[in-house]
Amino acid sequence: MIKINNNIDIRKSTKLESQAIARHNERLHTYYTNENINKELSHLNTYKQFNEERTNERVNGVQTFNCVFTISFDRNNNKEFKEADKFANHYIKELKNNFFPNNDLISKNWHLDETTPHIHFSFSAYDNELNKFNARQQMNRTLLRDIKTWEKEFINGTIEKQPKIYELKESILTKDQRQELSKEHNLDINQFSRELIEKKLNTKDLREKYNKAKELERSKGNQLERQEEDRTNKHEIKELQRERDRNQLVKRWGEFKKDTLEIRNQIASIDRIGAQLDRWNSELSKELKEREKFEQTMEPHIKGMEKEIEKERDKGPEWSF
C-alpha cells in the first residue's frame, strides 16, 4: 500500500544553491551531514533531466523552484515503486499545468536511500512568456496556500479513485504526547493509540488535542528535515564558493603571468633598441674622431697654402712687354 499526504515543500534557490542541491540530489559528494543516507542503497536512486537549467547572472537572483514530496512505500517492491512513480508524474504534471505553465521542468530525482522515500523535482524560475526571471511575482504566499489547497483535493481524489493502491498517511503520536494525553483521560499508554482515539474516544476535546499533536509532529519532522537539508546545502555552497575562489585565483595568476611575460618582452625589446643606439653612438664617435684627426692632419697644409697665397699677393702682378 502506498501512503501519501499533502506535504510538498517548495523553496526558491539561487545559482549557487541550485548547484549545491543538484550535486546533493545526484549524490556527487562523499560527505553528507544527513545521517539517514544509506550509501549502500544509493544505487536505487533515479535521476531524470528534462530541460537545461537557465542561469541567472544576478548574484542573489532566484534561479529555480526546488520541490520535495514524500511518498511512503516498500522500496523493495518494484510494483509499488512503479505505481508511486506514476502518481508522482501525474502530480508534477498537474502542478505544472495549474501553477507553473510558463516554467520549464528541469529534473526529477527519486531518493530511495533514506529512511522515507521521497522525490525531488525543480522548475526554472525563468518565465518563458515574459522572457525573464520573475520569481518575485511567480512565487508568493498566496500561491503556496493555493498549492496546498489544490494538493489536498488532488490527493483525496486520487485515494477515492484507487483506494486499494493509495491511502492517506497520518502522523502517529510520539510516546511523550501519548503519555501526556493518556494521563488526562486516565488511560493505559499502551492502549492509547490512533485507533482508540478515532474509534472509541471520539470526543470533540480529544479530537482537537489529537489533531494538534499530529500537526506538531508533522511540523517538527518537516523542520528537522529542512534544518538537515539546510546544513547540507550550506556545506555544499561553501565548497562551491571555495572552488569558485580557487578558480578566480588561478585565472588571476594566469593573467599575472601573461602580463609579466608581456612586460619582459617589452623590456627585452627596449634592451635591443638600447643596444642598437649604443652601436650607433659608438660608430658616430668613431667617425667624429677620424674627422678630428683628418682636420688636425690637414691644418698645417692649409696654413702653408695660405702663406704662399699671401706672398703671391704681396708681389703684385708681373708685367711683360
Same domain assignment for residues 37 and 146: yes
Q: Does residue 69 form part of some domain? A: yes
Query: How far apart are the C-alpha atoms of 173 and 217, rounded to whole Å?
Result: 7
**Phi, psi angles (nearest 5°) of residue 243:** -60, -40
Instruction: Verify that 145 and 56 share a domain, yes or no.
Output: yes
pLDDT of res. 199: 47
180 located within any domain: yes
Would you say residue 96 has pLDDT above 90?
yes
Note whether 44 and 164 are same-domain residues.
yes
Residue 8 backbone phi and psi in degrees, to 5? -65, 140
73 and 183 share a domain?
no
Distance CA 181, CA 185 (A): 7
Task: Among 141, 169, 197, identify where a domain stops.
Answer: 169
Q: What is the pLDDT of residue 176?
A: 57
What is the residue range of 104's domain? 1-169
Q: Is 173 exposed, middle or buried (0-12, 13-18, 19+ CB in 10 A)?
A: buried
Instruction: Please indicate, yes or no, if residue 294 is contained in any of the structural domains.
Output: no
The whole-number pLDDT of residue 186 equals: 54
291 located within any domain: no
User: Global pTM?
Assistant: 0.53
Window from 19-23, 76-80, 132-136, 176-180 with minimum mean pLDDT = 176-180
Q: Taking a C-beta distance cutoff of 8 angstroms, is the pair 169, 116 a contact?
A: no
At 36 the three-state DSSP class reads coil
- Cell 502518481, residue? 87
Q: Is 36 left (phi over 0), alpha (psi -120 to 50) or beta?
A: alpha
Mean pLDDT of 97-104: 92
In a domain, 56, yes or no: yes
Residue whose C-alpha cell is 537557465 = 54
150-188 pLDDT per residue, tens: 988 898 888 888 888 877 765 444 455 555 555 555 555
Look at phi and psi of residue 117 and say left if phi exceeds 0, alpha if psi is from -120 to 50, else beta: beta
Asked whether residue 198 is domain-assigned, the answer is: yes
Check residues 281 and 174 and name the one with the higher pLDDT: 281
Distance from C-alpha of 255 to C-alpha of 261, rounded to nearest angstrom = 10
Asked if 125 contacts 56 with a C-beta cutoff of 8 angstroms, the reply is yes
Residues 10 and 121 in one domain: yes
Summary mean pLDDT of the chain: 79
Residue 225 confidence class, pLDDT cut points 50, 70, 90:
low
Residues 299-311, mean pLDDT to the nearest whole number: 80
Of 170, 225, 221, 232, nearest to 33 (Cα)? Answer: 232
Residue 193 pLDDT > 80: no
Please check whether residue 307 lies inside any domain of the structure.
Answer: no
Tell me: do 144 and 208 sit in the same domain: no
Would you say residue 315 has pLDDT above 50? yes
In this structure, the answer to whether residues 203 and 156 fall within a common structural domain is no
For residue 100, the model assigns a pLDDT of 93
Confidence of residue 77 (pLDDT cuts 50, 70, 90): confident
The answer to whether residues 177 and 220 belong to one domain is: yes
Please indicate, yes or no, whether residues 111 and 37 belong to a single structural domain of this protein.
yes
CB 25 within 8 A of CB 100: no
**Shared domain check, 274 and 165:** no
Q: Is residue 130 domain-shared with residue 38, that is, in the same domain?
A: yes
Instruction: State the pLDDT confidence band at 17, using cuts at 50, 70 and 90.
Output: confident
Contacts of 263 (CB under 8 A, 6+ apart): none
Per-residue model confidence as pLDDT tens digits over 49-71: 888 888 888 878 899 999 998 88
CATH of residue 161: 3.30.930.30
Q: What is the Cα–Cα distance from 156 to 312, expressed in whole angstroms?
A: 142
Query: In total, how many domains does the chain have?
Result: 2
Q: Is the dihedral of CA 76, 80, 84, 85 positive or negative?
A: positive
CB of 222 within 8 A of CB of 7?
A: yes
User: Of 169, 196, 217, at which residue does a domain stop?
Assistant: 169
Same structural domain for residues 147 and 214?
no
pLDDT above 90 covers what percent of the chain?
A: 12
> Would residue 289 count as lying in a domain?
no
